Each structure stands twice: as C-alpha cells, then as structure tokens.
Amino acid sequence: MSKQRVTRRQFLNYTLTGVGGFMAAGMLMPMVRFAVDPVLKHNAAGDYVVTKQKIDEITNEPVRVDFSFEQKDAWYTSEVTNTAWVYKDENGEIVALSPVCKHLGCTVDWNTDATHPEHFFCPCHNGLYTKDGVNVPGTPPAAPLDVYPYKDVDGYLALGKAEPRKGA
C-alpha cells in the first residue's frame, strides 16, 4: 500500500493558495457587486410621481405644480424638482404641460406678458404658446410644449415623464 505523503512545502503551498484565494474572493466580490448592481436593478424611469395637487381642485386656470422625485443615474442618486402647468380643458380633461420652452429651454410662465394675456410666455426670447401649449407662429419656439401623462392616485395628480405632444 502506497502512502502519499504531503511534504511540508506542499502543505504550505496548498494552505497559502487556499487562504490567498479566499482573501482575493472576499475583496473582489464587493467590487463585482458594486459594478454590476445598477445594471441589474429595475429602471424606475417612466414611473408616475404623485404630486400634492388634488384633482378636484384643478380648474380651467393653469396652476404651477412643483413635484420632486429621486433620480438614479447609475451609481448617483439625486433629488430632482420638476414643474408642470396644470388645468382642465373645456371637456374637463386634465392638461399637464412642461414649462420647458421648446426654443432653448427657458421656463415659460402663464399669463405674464401683458400684450398677450392668456398665453404661456417665455421671457428669454419672447416665445409664446397658446393655453393648450401650442407654439404661436412667428415666435422663436418651433414646437408645442411637452405634455405630462397623468393618473389619478387617490384623488391626487400623479405625473409621468413629459413627452412631445402626439402629432406635433
């Protein structure tokens, strides 16, 4: 019967390789998890954000609704504040418009230009939009204001991601 003896040198080699491998795995695992984690997580983009605006308090006069949400950009999380201009149209349908001017991205305001009442006005280059967000021809903006999709969440207005008006 042949007995294979492990020499002291072999024993040390096996032990050091095992301990070294264990330590390397212990160091690498958190790094691998850190690198892969955001890719595997569910992308929350497109989710609706519930605002403090009660649906039944929305009238036909546009009101400014500010809302904030947490935005994750890979490993970086930040608090983002957005705004919508919200009102009910003549059919009682809610309209939620983005305030971002389609010319160069300034913020439009409702009814602030005395020469064009009942319009959205962009002070940067005198951009004008009608109440439904359509750009007035002859002013700098070349497209209507983006529109937020919305939902009623327990009586409160929830807004999705603003998107270009369909058919624009």
Q: Which residues bind ligand FES (CB under 6 A)?
A: 101, 103-104, 106, 122, 124-125, 127, 140-141
Q: Which residue is nearest to ligand FES (CB)?
A: 127
Q: How far is the CB of 98 from ligand FES (least distance, A)?
A: 12
Q: How far is the CB of 101 from ligand FES (least distance, A)?
A: 3
As a whole number of angstroms, the distance between CA 74 and CA 102 comes to: 28
AA identity, residue 64: R
CB neighbours of residue 62 within 10 Å:
22
Q: Which residue, 94 or 106, has its beta carbon nearer to ligand FES?
A: 106
**62 CB-near residues (< 8 Å, 6+ apart):** 85, 86, 87, 97, 110, 111, 120, 131
Q: Which residue, 94 or 100, has its beta carbon nearer to ligand FES?
A: 100
H or E stretch at 87: strand 76-88
Q: Which residue, 139 or 151, has its beta carbon nearer to ligand FES?
A: 139
φ, ψ of residue 79 to 5 degrees: the values are -95, 120
Record the tokens describing residue 126, joined without a space: 């005198």
Q: How far is the CB of 86 from ligand FES (least distance, A)?
A: 20
**115 CB-near residues (< 8 Å, 6+ apart):** none
Q: Which residue, 103 or 131, has its beta carbon nearer to ligand FES?
A: 103
Q: Which residue, 103 or 119, has its beta carbon nearer to ligand FES?
A: 103
Q: How far is the CB of 82 from ligand FES (least distance, A)?
A: 18
Q: How far is the CB of 114 from ligand FES (least distance, A)?
A: 17
